[in-house]
Structure formats: C-alpha cells, structure tokens
Amino acid sequence: MFGKRTNDPSSVASPAPKPVTAPKAGAGSSSPAAKQSAAKPTTTAKTPSAPPKPAPEPEKQRSHSEEYYDVKTTVFNALIDTIDLTQLSKPDSVAAREEIRDIVSEIIQLKNVVMSIAEQAELLEDICNDVLGYGPLEPLLARDDIADIMVNGAATTFIEVNGKVQKTGVRFADNTQLMNICQRIVSQVGRRVDESSPICDARLPDGSRVNVIAPPLAIDGPALTIRKFKKDKLKLEQLVKFGSITPEAKTILEIIGRVRCNILISGGTGSGKTTLLNCLTGSIDLDERIITCEDSAELQLQQPHVVRLETRPPNLEGEGEITMRALVKNCLRMRPERIIVGEVRGPEAFDLLQAMNTGHDGSMGTLHSNSPREAISRLESMIMMGGFALPVTTIREMIVGSVDIIVQASRLRDGTRKITHITEVMGMEGEVVTLQNLIVYEITGEDANGKLIGRHRSTGISRPAFWERASYYGETDRLAEALAASEVYDEHGNPVGDSNG
Ligand SMILES: Nc1ncnc2c1ncn2[C@@H]1O[C@H](COP(=O)(O)OP(=O)(O)O)[C@@H](O)[C@H]1O
Ligand SMILES: [Mg+2]
C-alpha cells in the first residue's frame, strides 16, 4: 500500500498535515500551484492541542546528518510558503508528487542548497512522504518483513522483524508531526484522536491494524502501534518449516479441524493465534457454511461459503457500537455450520460456548492466555464479568461440554513462535476441569547464540477423547499414526512420560 491514498472523496475532508511552521503571509511565488490555491485558506488542519514538545534527539539513532534535517526544514518551510498543502491532498499521489518535485527542485536551486543528486532524491522522497503519506512511517510500511511497528513518541520507533524487536533510526520532526500522521490514519476510518478522545483503533487501507494513544494518557508523546497486515498468511506447512510444529502435529491439527472438534486457540499477544486459526480453517470441508466474527477482518478463508462479519466501534458521539456479543448472537440466526470468532475477550464467550454446545460443533475462536489451564479460567471470568449469574460449577460444566481442544501458541524468549500444547478438555473431577495434553513442546536447552533448543512430543496418549469423531470421519488410522510417530524415547528406550497438569 506504499504511498497509496484512497480516492474516496471522504478522504478530502481529512485534516491536512500541519505545516512545520505556519505559512508566512504574502510569501510570493510565481509557481502555478500557488496561484491555483491562493483562494483557499490553509486552515482546515485539525491540529491537536497537545503542546508540541521538542523531541529529544538520540544522537546514535540518526540516519541523517544534522545538516540534512536543517536543509529539509528550510525546504519544507519554503514549500509550504509556496503551495497550499490542503489542496495537494486531493489529487492522486502521482500528480501530487510531480507537483511537489518541481517546486522542491526550484527551491533547492533558489536557495543555493549544496546537495548531491542522491541526497536530493532522498530529500524529495522524504518530503513527499511527509506531505502525502504517512511521513517517516512510509519506508517501514513498504517493507513486507515487518510484523509490527511501534512508535513511542516522535524520537523512538521500534519494529518487529522475524520475531525480534529492534530499534530503528526512524524519527518524526516532533510530536505534532507524529500526531498529525496518527490523525490522518484514523480519520480515514472516520475517527478522531485528540486530547479529548486520546485512544483510538483504526485500520490502514491495506488492512493493517492501528492503535493510537495520545497525550495526556501517553506521557512521552503519541504512541502508535501498527500490526501489519500480511497478504500471504502463513500456512501449516510453513509453520512446520519454521519448527513451530512437527509434521505429525500438523497432521493432528488438520484432523482436529476436519472432524469438527470445537477448538480454542490460546496465546499471548503476537504469539500467532490468528495465524493458527487461519491455518486451522484450511481443513474445513468446502461444503460447510462458515460465519466469521472479527473486530478487524484478518482471516482469509478459502472456502466458497463464508459470511464475514466485523464489529463496529462507537462513532464520535459514542453511539452505534456493535459488539462481538451482538455479532455472535446474530450469527446463530444465520444457519451457520461453523462459527469462527477472531478473538473472544468478553461476554461473547457465553454465546460462543452456547453455539458450540448446540449443534455448531467445529466452531473455533482465539483467546488471550498463557496456558490451556489459564484459558479455562479466562473463559470463566469472561462469562462471570459478562453479568451471567451462574454458579462457577455450571460455567465449568458448560466449558467442558463445549470445548474439545485447546491449542496453545507461544512466542518464546528467543523470538521463535511455537505451538506448545495440543490439549483436550476432558471433563470434571469434583470442581476441577480436567485437561489432557496430547502434544507438548518442551525446552531442553539453549545454544551459544541464545536460541532455545526443544522438542515436540506426544504424552503417550494413543486414543484421544475425540477418537469417536475421528472414526466417524474415517481419520483414526492417520490419527493413530501421527500420535505414535510423536512419541519420544529416553536413552533406555522408554517413552518419555506424560506431563499433564
Ligand atoms: N509460527 C510462526 N512463525 C513465525 N511467525 C509467525 C508464526 N505465527 C505467526 N507469525 C507471525 O507473527 C505475527 C503475529 O501473528 P498473529 O497470528 O497476528 O498473532 P496474534 O493473533 O496471536 O496476536 C504475524 O506477523 C505472523 O505472520
Ligand atoms: Mg490476533
């Protein structure tokens, strides 16, 4: 989506970038752009009232020299003296870029700026990004290898690449510029972020998820977090290649998905829950009617019969919100065969369990938790917090009656992502929900480079509780084989024991 701007007329109304300094009155220019825009005031920019704190400048992180930034500021100021930037946000980016290019070249000549051709090209690119796109974020947005972009105020930006978080040299002129870019992003989805509504979720045109939290809540300047949308979602084969699961565990997951087990995927933020959910939907048969409910559509189902639903946040007046619970409830009236909930985080847990319990088996969802055991208690508390006046035992019975499998995804401390548990929800022993691990990942050591060494293994269960289902779908041979092949033996040739708990 690099540099792409919507042609949607509504985007015209979006605030234009705030000039670094206010245009000086009467700045003369013979540029045609100046004449063309002279009638229009430049004041449509909705500038946040947060005081622009000068960004602290970490010397080591600078990718350009101090002079470069000085020149850029000079040229930028001259540019905004010359043309009306609000007029520029209208034309498509190619035409606008050409226009800016001409004026910038002119300015560089007029001001006698000494610059190499390469530097000039870079300066031009930089300025175009500031004026037309997402400023210093553009080069990061253009990279496909970045999973997350985390901006902590104007001076500090981190990215996640290959599971590792690293600091970049990217910086914004000041918090005002950063805030303007945040504003430009969220206004594309009809939202606003400023001091009075300082928290905002939005989406980039390419589907990337965006969160902005602004001062005064964010103390050191606006914090912008972007989870970049991956066009090519990872497949199970790739997870095998990365060592996230073994080929045998992949087979087990495929069988679990196919034979309509109710599945919860548990994991921390960025552990790969959504990726895994997307993979699991790959084993759903082509003739099933699937309804997906998400906060922000990420799943990419390959089946022909899919209805995709998305929640809606409240509008600027705080009205019109459609919650996940409302979507899941509505789903039930749409004759679904499977319901897929992107992320269960509230009272919709109750409705999803109900659905799983009442003939929509094969439903799936993800939730935020660090182990299969914790997933159960998270579900419990989501239901209790949702205001359902049910005794805890009843809720647990409901969970046991609904959820068949919990798959745990984890991002380990060396940055790798693993599927650490494939666990069955068995039943109740007194008040306690019993779980049975089928496959676990255990860490056995660490190499000299800090990479963790570990292995996936079966816990010795040869007949999982969903055996009957597997049998109905003719999958028992494949299942037995995959489980047997996952056994690991110790030096005496005995299978490594169970690790349930
Ligand atoms: N097993 C994996 N190996 C490597 N990268 C992965 C793996 N699973 C997910 N990812 C990547 O990690 C990022 C976060 O994944 P995602 O599924 O969105 O996490 P979650 O839904 O848990 O927040 C994505 O960029 C995704 O491509
Ligand atoms: Mg997710």
What ligand is nearest to the CA atom of residue 294? Answer: 2
Q: Angle 427-274-248 (CA atoms, 0-180°, nearest 5)?
A: 65
Distance from Cα 126 to the centre of ligand 1, integer Å:
31
Ligand 1 atom with the shortest distance to the CA of 343: 21
Task: Please give the Cα distance from 75 to 62 (Å, whole number).
Answer: 19
**Nearest C-alpha to atom 8 of ligand 1 is from which residue?**
272
* Between 119 and 63, the higher pLDDT residue: 119
**Nearest C-alpha to atom 10 of ligand 1 is from which residue?**
272
pLDDT of residue 105: 86
15 pocket-lining for ligand 1 (C-beta < 6 Å): no
Task: Please give the Cα distance from 228 to 137 (Å, whole number).
Answer: 12
420 pocket-lining for ligand 1 (C-beta < 6 Å): no
Helices and strands per DSSP (H, E), number in the chain: 16, 15
Q: Which residue has tokens 């496909």? A: 144
230 pocket-lining for ligand 1 (C-beta < 6 Å): yes
Distance from Cα 75 to the centre of ligand 1, integer Å:
41
Helices (H), 62-143: 66-82, 85-88, 93-110, 117-132, 138-142
417 pocket-lining for ligand 1 (C-beta < 6 Å): yes
Per-residue confidence band for 85, with pLDDT thresholds at 50, 70 and 90 = low
Residue 363 C-alpha from the chain's centroid: 22
- Any bridge partners for residue 421, and if so which? 408, 440
pLDDT of residue 496: 81
pLDDT of residue 190: 76
How is 115-133 classified by DSSP, letter by letter? Answer: --HHHHHHHHHHHHHHHHS
Q: What is the pLDDT of residues 293-335, one digit of tens each?
A: 998 888 989 899 999 999 988 776 778 899 999 999 999 999 9
pLDDT of residue 374: 97
Task: Please give the Cα distance from 272 to 104 (Å, whole number).
Answer: 44
DSSP 3-state assignment of 19? coil
Query: What is the pLDDT averaged over residues 459-469?
Result: 94
CA-based nearest residue to 437, from 427, 419, 454, 425: 425
Per-residue confidence band for 51, with pLDDT thresholds at 50, 70 and 90 = very low
**Nearest C-alpha to atom 25 of ligand 1 is from which residue?**
147
* Contacts (Cβ under 8 Å, ≥6 apart) of 427: 400, 433, 434
pLDDT of residue 21: 38
Q: Which of 203, 210, 410, 417 to mutate to test the pocket of ligand 1 (most atoms within 8 A of CB)?
A: 417
Run of H or E including 236 = helix 236-241
* Contacts (Cβ under 8 Å, ≥6 apart) of 202: 185, 186, 188, 189, 191, 210, 211, 212
DSSP assignment letter at 337: S
pTM, two decimals, is 0.72
Q: Which residue has tokens 């000079």? A: 74
Task: Please give the Cα distance from 121 to 197 (Å, whole number).
Answer: 38
Per-residue confidence band for 203, with pLDDT thresholds at 50, 70 and 90 = confident
Query: What is the pLDDT averaged over residues 440-457?
Result: 93
Cis peptide before 216 (omega within 30 of 0): yes
Query: What is the pLDDT averaged over residues 45-55?
Result: 40
205 pocket-lining for ligand 1 (C-beta < 6 Å): no
Task: Please give the Cα distance from 294 to 328 (Å, whole number).
Answer: 10
pLDDT of residue 8: 40
CB 53 within 8 A of CB 151: no
Ligand 1 atom with the shortest distance to the CA of 419: 1
Helices (H), 264-357: 273-281, 324-331, 348-357
**Nearest C-alpha to atom 3 of ligand 1 is from which residue?**
417
Sign of the Cα pseudo-torsion (387, 391, 393, 394, in order): negative
Q: Which two tokens stand for residue 208?
A: 């990337």
* Between 132 and 26, the higher pLDDT residue: 132
Tell me the residue length of the chain. Answer: 501
Task: Please give the Cα distance from 425 to 423 (Å, whole number).
Answer: 7
pLDDT of residue 155: 94
**Nearest C-alpha to atom 7 of ligand 1 is from which residue?**
272
The rounded percent of the chain whose pLDDT value lies above 70 is: 84
CB 221 within 8 A of CB 53: yes
